[in-house]
Amino acid sequence: MMIAMEPLPYLPLVLALLGAPMLRSVINRTKAWFAGRRGPPLLQPYRDLRKLLSKGAVYSRTTTWMFRMGPAVGLSTVIVAALLVPMATIAAPFAFVGDLFLFGYLLALGRLFTVLAALDTGSPFEGMGANREVYFSALTEPVLLLCLATLARQTDSLSLSRIYPAVGVFSWSDATPLLVLVAAAMLIVFLTENARIPVDDPTTHLELTMIHEVMVLDHGGPDLAFIEYTVALKLWVVGQLIVGIFVPATQLTLWGAMLADVVGLFVLAVLVGVVESTMARLRMPNVPQLLLGAGALAAMAWLLVLQVGS
């Protein structure tokens, strides 16, 4: 498999770049609906981004180039990661054996730079956030790999662009329990990666209880815009990995499948909103338990795959 040269494979990227902030609006609207409020307008995230991008910046005297690099690297990694994820039956622009690992490690790279930027400020709160971030992600990474390994084994393939269309084929007839387990585990990974309840609460106001938000306390202006956009894009990209499991892409037409994918993403956003409205954030010491639970689900899925295979 090689690098795609025709325009079609880049379409999902364009969709992602354009539609990602909308996911956050959907989540916010859902939560507002549960709270009985009307919520911000759907285009509010775009407005926020524009506003931030047009501002100047204030930097801490403690910080170095590391702090300034953080948001740019974080955004780049998610954009490049988006280039690896297929949509519907469209293979990703970069599709090759093992691209799923590159996907995971790209997210890790972005995370490291966010963490380092946070530590660069010397602030105790940001240090704490950084600490929690690396702690929880150390536990999610093997879960994500295990989930993908299960799918890979099931589809005998080592590329996201092959796995996902194939998942659509066999999916729900012969491997329902397996897919449910994988999807559940991946949902937890998704929530953790994107710093959502029950792992993290993006809307809290108490620094001591934050993870992601506290890390970016000192950023402002275009840097903060990059970060906000990164968050949105990450929701979209990682969300696709879950939605892809449910969309039987090969049974639909190309455009139908694309549509289903996008709709699926918004359903996922609504689901996130529902979860955030009905659940409380876990206590920090309980988070690892949740993640290990996800690991257990993934392991079960793996064992099922083995059972089938042998």
Partner 1 sequence: MILLVSGLVVMVLAGVAALGCRRIPRLAGTIAVSGVLSGSALALMGAFGALTGRAPARFTLSTAIASANALANDSGALAIDALGAFFLLVVLVVSSLAAIYGLGYLERNTRTGASWFFFNVLVASMAFVVVADDGFLFLIAWELAALSSYFLVVQHDERAEVRRAGWVYLVAAHVGAAFLVVFFVLLGQHAGSLRLVSLAGPLSNAAPLHVMFVCALIGFGTKAGLVPLHPWLVEAYPVAPSHVSAVLSGAMSKLGIYGLARVLTLLDPQEPWGWTLIFVGSSSTVLAILLALPQRDLKRSIAYSSAENLGIVAMAMGLGVFALTRGNQGLAVVALAGGLLHVANHAVFKTLLFLAAGALQKATGTLDIERLGGLLRRMPITGAVFLVGALAICALPPFNGFASEFILLVTAFDTAISIPFPVDLSGLIVVLALGLASGLALACFARLVGIVWLGEPRSDSASAACEVGFLMQAPMIVLAIACLAIGLGVPWMLSGLERPIAVLMNTSSDMVGGVLKRFSAASLRTVVSVGAVLFGTIVALAVVRKLMLRDREVSQHVTWGCGYTATSSRIQYTGSSFAEPITELFAPLIPHESRIRLPTGTLPEAAELEKHTLDPCEHWLYAPAFRTIRSGLGSLRWIQHGRIRLYVLYIIVTLLVLLAWNVG
Q: Which residues within the stretch 75-104 sit at the binding site for partner 1 (CB under 8 A)? A: 75-77, 79-80, 83-84, 94-99, 101-102, 104
Under rule CB under 8 A, how many of the chain's residues touch partner 1?
A: 87
By CB under 8 A, name the one of 13, 27, 87, 106 that touches partner 1.
Answer: 106
Q: Tell me how far, at minimum, the Cβ of 101 lies from partner 1, in Å.
A: 5
Q: What are phi and psi of 228, to 5 degrees?
A: -60, -40
Stretch that binds partner 1, among 40-48, 119-127, 244-252, 253-261 (CB under 8 A): 119-127
Restricted to residues 11-30, the positions that interact with partner 1 (CB under 8 A) are none
Distance separating alpha carbons of residues 146 and 32, to the nearest angstrom = 35
User: Residue 33, interface with partner 1 (CB under 8 A)?
Assistant: no
Instruction: Sort 280 into a burial class: Cβ within 10 Å, 0-12 / 13-18 / 19+.
Output: exposed
User: Residue 43, interface with partner 1 (CB under 8 A)?
Assistant: no
Distance separating alpha carbons of residues 227 and 222, to the nearest angstrom = 9
Q: Tell me how far, at minimum, the Cβ of 29 lies from partner 1, in Å.
A: 30
Q: Tell me how far, at minimum, the Cβ of 43 lies from partner 1, in Å.
A: 21
Restricted to residues 249-288, the positions that interact with partner 1 (CB under 8 A) are 288
Q: Tell me how far, at minimum, the Cβ of 266 lies from partner 1, in Å.
A: 27
Distance separating alpha carbons of residues 8 and 10, to the nearest angstrom = 5
Cβ-Cβ contacts under 8 Å for 127 (sequence gap 6 or more): 118, 119
Bridge partners of 94, per DSSP, are 3
Distance separating alpha carbons of residues 291 and 202, to the nearest angstrom = 19
User: Residue 109, interface with partner 1 (CB under 8 A)?
Assistant: yes
143 versus 265: smaller Cβ distance to partner 1: 143
11 versus 259: smaller Cβ distance to partner 1: 11
Restricted to residues 139-198, the positions that interact with partner 1 (CB under 8 A) are 139-146, 149, 152-153, 156, 158
Instruction: Sort 36 into a burial class: Cβ within 10 Å, 0-12 / 13-18 / 19+.
Output: exposed
Q: Where are the beta strands (DSSP E) in 157-294?
A: none
Residue written as token pair 């280039």 = 83
Q: How many residues does the chain have?
A: 310
User: Residue 105, interface with partner 1 (CB under 8 A)?
Assistant: yes
By CB under 8 A, name the one of 87, 115, 184, 189 that touches partner 1.
Answer: 115
User: Residue 122, interface with partner 1 (CB under 8 A)?
Assistant: yes
Question: Max Cα separation, the chain?
Answer: 61
User: Residue 302, interface with partner 1 (CB under 8 A)?
Assistant: yes
User: Residue 228, interface with partner 1 (CB under 8 A)?
Assistant: no
57 C-beta neighbours (distance < 10 Å), count: 12
Distance separating alpha carbons of residues 133 and 151, to the nearest angstrom = 27
The answer, yes or no, to whether the previous bond of 198 is cis (omega within 30 of 0) is yes
Stretch that binds partner 1, among 30-38, 71-79, 236-244, 249-257 (CB under 8 A): 71-79
Stretch that binds partner 1, among 12-20, 57-65, 240-248, 273-281 (CB under 8 A): 57-65
